[in-house]
Amino acid sequence: MTDKDVTERNVMLHAEYDRLHSCLALLSDDERKLIELIYFKNLTIEECGKYLGITHQAVSKKRKRILCKLYKLLK
């Protein structure tokens, strides 16, 4: 990879990061918290459920709904 390729890749990654950050800002506080716990703090679904006081099934359903919402926002 040339320096130019690396620079272009970094610019693209930064733009994608900004876009994702903007979409995350559109989520409710509860939705953002769940995403933060699972994807940024690396909690398992079971650990996340215990932390939030809900079942792992509820966490799974909420996660799926939130990911669908993010997918639509990112389209």
Q: What is the CATH number of the domain that holds 16?
A: 1.10.10.10
Q: Is the distance from CB of 51 to CB of 65 less than 8 angstroms?
A: no
- For the whole prediction, is pTM greater than 0.75? yes
Residue 57: domain span: 3-74
Provide the number of structural domains found in the chain: 1
Higher pLDDT, 2 or 59: 59
- Are the C-beta atoms of residues 59 and 34 closer than 8 Å to each other? yes
Going by C-alpha positions, the residue among 12, 61, 7 that lies closest to residue 34 is 61
Structure confidence by residue, pLDDT tens digits, 16-74:
889 989 999 999 999 999 999 999 999 999 999 999 999 999 999 999 999 999 999 98
How buried is 71 (Cβ within 10 angstroms: 0-12 exposed, 13-18 middle, 19+ buried)? exposed
pLDDT digit string (tens) for 5-28?
Answer: 788 888 888 888 899 899 999 999
Q: Which of 35, 41, 42, 6 is nearest to 21 (CA)?
A: 35
